[in-house]
Homo-oligomer: A and B are copies of this chain.
Amino acid sequence: MGISGIHPGTRNEIGISAMAAALKKRFADRFQTGQAIRAQHSHTTTWVPSQLPDGVVFVESTDDVKAIVRLAAEHEVPLIPFGVGSSLEGQVNAPSGGFSLDFSRMNKVLSVNPEDLDCIVEPGITREELNAYLRDTGLFFPIDPGANATIGGMASTRASGTNAVRYGTMKDNVLAVTAVTADGEEIRTARRARKSSAGYDLTRLLVGAEGTLGILTSVTLRLQGIPEEIAGGYCNFPTLKQASEAVIMTIQLGIPVARIELLNTPQVKACNAYSKLDLPEMPSLFLEFHGSPASVALQSEAFREIAAENGSSGFTWTRNPEERAKLWKARHDVYWSAKALRAGGTVISTDVCVPISRLADCVTETERDIEEHGLLGPIVGHAGDGNFHVSLVIDDKIPAEIAAAEAFIARLNERALAMDGTCTGEHGIGQGKQEFLEGELGGSVGIMRQIKRALDPKNIFNPGKIFALD
């Protein structure tokens, strides 16, 4: 993590003042500079300290975005796009000041094409708003990072979540974007065809760029048919290793499991306490299957055999929507279950991702680390992807606890990299993971900097995120 990794930034005071005046003139009440609203727009959901923007513009159209980018280029002032502020690594902070672009009013569905299973949306729509809109079409957008994030934010951090094991991540589900680039013009990165070999894949360059290369103005998404049947269940194993072996076999056999989540024993205990469940307090998998009733039956039967083969004492499953909802509500509430472990505690949610063959080792070593250092940190993972989260619970008013958490996170990332993994499976680099990026990707970071300099020569797009330029 590293508060140490956070670039202090240098402020262009003259440019910021001049641009604030120009924004006031053009946007009137849609430009806000009050302390509370600025603080809200640098809210980081975690312990990364807030760095407030100098003001917030509520954008309503691509023309608004173009005008703001042109002003920013003229005055050389940073722009920070803002969705709902659910990012976890300081992505919405303003280390060099500048202006936050609030996309909450650019939240329209622009078109839905049921035959092509796609839609075009403005970036400010949240995934729940989108799915509510889509319900009558029989389609849904599957990516579910837990938080009710915006599509623009999810695209920008290359988000994924519990059902990426079946439906992929944002990289797989964004077909095209439009974005305003440094010259203040809008580009469209791809047509609506399902695939293309036409030139560089700018779609996937912008997905995961955390707003550092341009500002998204629309996103074309791949949709899925709502499954005829959804069934879920859980099972527990004597060891993490056995749970993990069951996951590997499931993936190897090509069972199209929709979600397969691993909870370690402390996490199961936390869920039992917070969500009033009585799950056996052992390493557990939560599962979900999507498909026709016959296909779901086949999938869960195949999984039951795998679980038994790997020492599970039984697989409890249900087609009852309420029971299923209760289980997944508990899964989605792991943040709160961790927070409830300690009165006044702050949760630091951090993620790494390793090849699935190393998942059990990585989680087991991390459990040992937590124990040895007397930390509190239940673990939950998107096991089918080898991606897991530690919810560290600390008192962030005690410097020694912050230091201990930082040291733990550094060890966690080194461990993941030593296993050929990544320092972030789905949260992004932002400010918090910068110190690990070079160790992970070496010379590739130099190539990223070259791209950044070429596409954003004045460094106006979310500067100080992913990497420092100097």
| Residues of A participating in the B interface, judged by any CB pair closer than 8 Å | 113-118, 157-160, 164, 168-169, 171-172, 181, 185-202, 204-205, 207-209, 213, 224-225, 227, 248, 251-254, 256, 290-292, 294-295, 298, 302, 353-357, 385-387, 416-417, 420-429, 433, 436-437, 440-448, 450-451, 453-455, 466-467
Contact = CB atoms under 8 A, between A and B. Distances in A.
A197 B426 contact: yes
24 contacts: A113-B357, A115-B248, A158-B196, A181-B447, A187-B441, A187-B447, A189-B444, A191-B421, A193-B355, A194-B355, A195-B385, A195-B387, A195-B422, A195-B426, A197-B425, A198-B422, A198-B433, A199-B444, A200-B205, A200-B451, A256-B256, A295-B298, A451-B451, A453-B454
Given A205-B200, A353-B196, A357-B115, A191 B440 contact: yes
A354 B192 CA distance: 7
A220 B433 CA distance: 24
Contacts of A425: 193, 195-197
A201 B181 CA distance: 18
Given A193-B354, A425-B193, A451-B200, A188 B444 contact: yes
- Looking at A169, A171, A421, A447, the one whose CB has the most chain B CB atoms below 10 A away is A447
A252 B117 contact: yes
B443 A199 contact: no
A113 B204 contact: no
A398 B455 CA distance: 46
A301 B355 CA distance: 36
A198 B302 contact: no
Nearest to A212: B200
A140 to B, nearest CB: 11
B450 A454 contact: yes
Contacts of A386: 116, 193-194
Contacts of A466: 199-200
A455 B256 CA distance: 39
B421 A192 contact: yes
A201 B437 CA distance: 13
Contacts of A451: 200, 205, 451, 454-455
